[in-house]
Amino acid sequence: MEPTSTVLLLVAGLAAGSVNALAGGGSLITYPALLATGLPPVAANVTNSIAVCPGYLAAVFGSRADLVGQRRRTVGLLPTAVLGTLAGTALLLLSPASTFEAVVPYLVILAALMLAFQSRIRRWVGQPHTLSAARQSVLLHVLVGVGCVYGGYFGAALGVMLVAGLALVLPESLARVSAVKNVLSALVGLVTVLVYGLVAPVSWISVAVLAPTAIIGGFLGARLARRLPQPILRAFIVCYGLIVGGYLLVA
């Protein structure tokens, strides 16, 4: 790998790890960087999915204090996350990408708008404290399942989608919602590592360059998320989600 490509990937990994911990969407930094090094699109996509996974794990470590009291809920969502991710990876490997890629920008924009207009949407589905345990559970699994199908397929702005869905149902602060999102994103990353590492054209040299800086960025981003006031964190996630969706729409 050329020195310029190495530097490009190192910077991209650090930025992507931080953004993933805050809002998700770091793949839109690393994916173009991988393309710029000469990888074809499919190889860049699967390499990217594997490379950013360590950053998700670091984000979990950085936000572990906000997971206190949420262990049972989070563990209960893990099987749904695994099944959704497997469905997404199968969609990428076994079917034409054009149809799913066409709806991805709208899904990202929808997720950002869901978070922006959360209070109004809650009037329709019910405030978290008024939802029955059964209804809350069903909504959580549906939203997480849909988000993880998307995450297994492409993954850019996965965090935006997960935060929007979780925040709609859970009576928690955005920092605590983001901590659950980090766990689910890490699991999505681990599943894609197993699947793509076995059957997809991964550039392991690129992974070795990206992964260390993604770890550092993920830890720093998670710590920053804990310190940002909730309105600022919400505004950041919404704005970033709209930018990502707009980029995918015109790209």
**Lowest mean per-residue pLDDT among 5-9, 20-24, 70-74, 200-204:** 20-24
Per-residue pLDDT at 185 exceeds 60: yes
CB burial class (10 A; 0-12, 13-18, 19+) of residue 231?
exposed
Task: List pLDDT tens digits, range 8-31.
Answer: 889 888 888 887 776 666 777 787
**What is the count of structural domains for the chain?**
1
CA dihedral sign of residues 23, 233, 70, 218: positive
The domain in which residue 232 lies consists of 3-250
What confidence category does residue 80 fall into, taking pLDDT thresholds of 50, 70 and 90? very high
46 and 202 in contact (C-beta within 8 Å)? Answer: yes
Task: List pLDDT tens digits, range 127-158.
Answer: 556 667 778 788 889 999 998 998 888 766 67
Rounded to the nearest integer, the mean pLDDT of the chain is 81
Per-residue pLDDT at 126 exceeds 60: no
Give 47's contacts (C-beta < 8 A, 6+ positions apart).
Answer: 34, 39, 202, 203, 206, 207
Task: List pLDDT tens digits, range 104-116.
Answer: 788 778 777 776 7
Per-residue pLDDT at 245 exceeds 80: no
pLDDT value, residue 84: 95
DSSP track, 83-139: HHHHHHHHHHHHS-SHHHHHHHHHHHHHHHHHHHTHHHHHHHH--GGGS-HHHHHHH
pLDDT value, residue 39: 85
